[in-house]
Structure 1
Amino acid sequence: MHTPASMVMGIVFAPLGLVLVFTAAITPQWREGQARLSMAGPGSLLRAGAKGSGTGARSGSAETLLLLRSDGLWESCLQVEHSELKQCWPVAGPYQRDPRVRLAQGLVLTSLFLCGTGIVLACIGVRCWTDLPLRGVAASGGLLVVIAGLLSLIALGVYTHNLKRLGIDPNQEISNPRSPQLSLYPAGSLYFGWLGSCLQLVGGSALLFSFKRPRCPTCPSRPEQTVCPACHSCPEMTSKTDMDVYEVSC
């Protein structure tokens, strides 16, 4: 059986999109930020760690550290620049309770579930071990993959639009103006998510074309009758070899 090109494209792009969205979901680089922290006090642990790693920087008479902060959907990390001092922890506090972060988490999880289910249905519908694919099943899987791509795009859009405001309390900034300010910007996991979502849409749309059945050849002796070689309704068709039948299979 010649598998339609749309099915092949969907079977290739949909799993690739699923892998990229899953990679984006589990990595903590949805947003990154930098902040300079002043090290005060002779017994400061940060001062001792910076001296041991050579990361201290003098600005006038004060030493500062450059902290690198990264946040994901389920994990946050903090690292001192040019050192091995790094710590990661599950998201907590205002960032975890932010309704936009929780919305993104729910949409991404739903997207992954729907995309996986759609890929299973598409694989069953293609049925490469038989003459005729189950076009309705494959197209239904494509519809689920398209919905999954749309959900992940919505999650990424909500997160990106509110990236600098997620988990930040304006009242806390006013009450503590000396706290280090982070300059937040999009990170690599977002780009993985955008690419994976687009691949899901392309793969799902290709599978949707499975609803359209190809035109079957007509019987030479009866041109008004449209037949499929698998039905063996035409004597001219049944006399052909199996190879010829597979070449024009619909």
Structure 2
Amino acid sequence: MRTPGIFIFGMVLAPCGWVLELTSTVAPAWRTINNIPGEPSDLVLQQGLWDICRTSTSSRDIQCNQQDTQYFSAQIIQIARALMLSSLILNLIGIGVASAGVRCWTDKPHWTVAGVGGLLIFISGVLTIIPVSWYTHIMNSIFSTSTDVRVGYCLVLGFIGGIMEVLGGLVMSLGLCRRCGGQKRVPSPARVDAVPSVSSVSSVPYYSKQSEMDFTRAKRQQDSRPATSTSTARPCDTDL
């Protein structure tokens, strides 16, 4: 049996979303800060969840492991770390469960198992979109040494990865609906075609070749029998 298209769709989007989500989690580019007072005009400060890097537009030198206690102590940073890590782990579990349910090397897939895996992938995508959206909304209110704050590429990757996981998990979750619908479905009785009666079709008797031979054979046997009298002769009075 071919693997259903909804499982193929989900099993392609889920790993792609996980890779984008992993990049968004570890890369230090959730936001960039430009035009920092007292610093060169080409200096760019890249801030992420785990690290902060200094770079410039005129050179390729990057200096990471920069310290910023006020930035890392923000509530959104702590919450985003926990949600992103939970999403990564949950997505891996969902992919493993969905892979065991799809099992394209067997005759029929396990719709319930694959649907549960899709549901886990869907939840992992939601856990990714929540911190990314929240961080984007309050990005300018987080402590910064400059007012020129811009969106980093990690937020874009996080949005795309979360949406891919949500779509893939949602499509695979349809297997649960199909499973529930299949259990409630009542099998229709087998259709039996009515056999028309010979008498209802035509009033003319039907003789087959076999019946004609049987009739001829019976007649010959009857003619070959010796004739016997059905009555016994009784003497008359005149004979006495």
Same fold by TM-score, threshold 0.5 exceeded?
yes
| Distance (whole Å) between structure 2 residues aligned to residue 184 and residue 116 of structure 1 | 33
Partner of 1:11: 11
Structure 1 residue aligned with 2:190: 222
Post-superposition offset of 1:85: 4.1
Query: Which of 161, 168, 186 does residue 137 from structure 2 map onto?
Result: 161
1:24 touches 1:190 (CA, 8 Å); kept in 2? Answer: yes
Pairing of 1:42-121 with structure 2 (within 5 A): 64-89=40-65, 92-121=68-97
Look up the equivalent residue of 1:99 and give its one-letter code. Answer: Q
Shift of 1:220: 11
Q: What pairs up with 1:136-175 in 2 under 5 angstroms?
A: 136-168=112-144
Q: Give distance in 1, aligned partners of 2:121 and 2:82.
A: 17
Partner SS for 1:89:
coil
Alpha-carbon separation, structure 1, partners of 2:8 and 2:14:
10
Question: 5+ residue gaps in structure 1?
Answer: 40-63, 169-179, 225-250
Q: Number of matched residues?
A: 188
Instruction: Tell me the residue number matched to 1:51.
Output: none
Structure 1 position 206 matched with structure 2 position 171: yes
Matches of 2:80 and 2:119, distance apart in 1: 21
Partner of residue 31, structure 2: 31
1-side partners of 2:188 and 2:90: how far apart? 46
CA spacing shift, 1:198–1:67, aligned 2, 3 Å: same
Query: Which AA in structure 2 matches 1:186?
Result: V
For the 8 Å contact 1:115–1:145, the answer to whether it is kept is yes
AA of the residue aligned to 1:12: V
Assess if the C-alpha contact under 8 Å between 1:101 and 1:166 holds in 2. no
CA distance in structure 1 between the aligned counterparts of 2:56 and 2:66, rounded to whole angstroms: 19
Aligned partners of 1:73 and 1:91 also within 8 Å: no
Identity of aligned pairs, percent?
A: 32
3-state SS of the aligned residue for 2:59?
Answer: coil
Instruction: Report the Cα offset of residue 66 of structure 1.
Output: 2.7
Q: Kindly indicate whether the alpha-carbon contact (under 8 Å) linking 2:28 and 2:50 is maintained by their aligned counterparts in 1.
A: yes
Distance in 2, Cα, partners of 1:85 & 1:7: 44
SS of aligned partner of 2:29: coil
RMSD in angstroms over aligned alpha carbons?
Answer: 2.5
Q: Partner residue of 1:129?
A: 105
Query: For residues 160 and 70 of structure 1, what CA distance do their matches in structure 2 show?
Result: 15
Change (3 A) 1:86 1:2: closer
Residues of 2 paired with 1:206 and 1:219: CA distance? 27
Q: Measure the CA separation in 2 of the matches of 1:102 and 1:167.
A: 14
TM-score by length of 1: 0.69
The code of the aligned residue for 1:96 comes to F
**2:146 equivalent in structure 1:** 181
Contact 1:36 1:66 in 2 (8 A): no
Sort the Cα spacing of 1:210 and 1:93 in 2 relative to 1 into closer, same or farther, 3 A: same
- SS of the aligned residue for 1:29 comes to coil
CA drift of 1:104 comes to 0.8
C-alpha deviations, 1:13-57, integer Å up to 9, x for none? Answer: 111111111111111111011125547xxxxxxxxxxxxxxxxxx
Contact kept, 8 Å, 2:42 with 2:58, in 1: the verdict is: no
Higher relative strand content: 1
Q: Which has the higher contact order (CA 8 A, sep 6+)?
A: 1
Spell out, residue by residue over 1:153-206, the C-alpha distance to the aligned partner (whole angstroms, 9 max, x if none): 1010111111112234xxxxxxxxxxx624101111111110000000110011
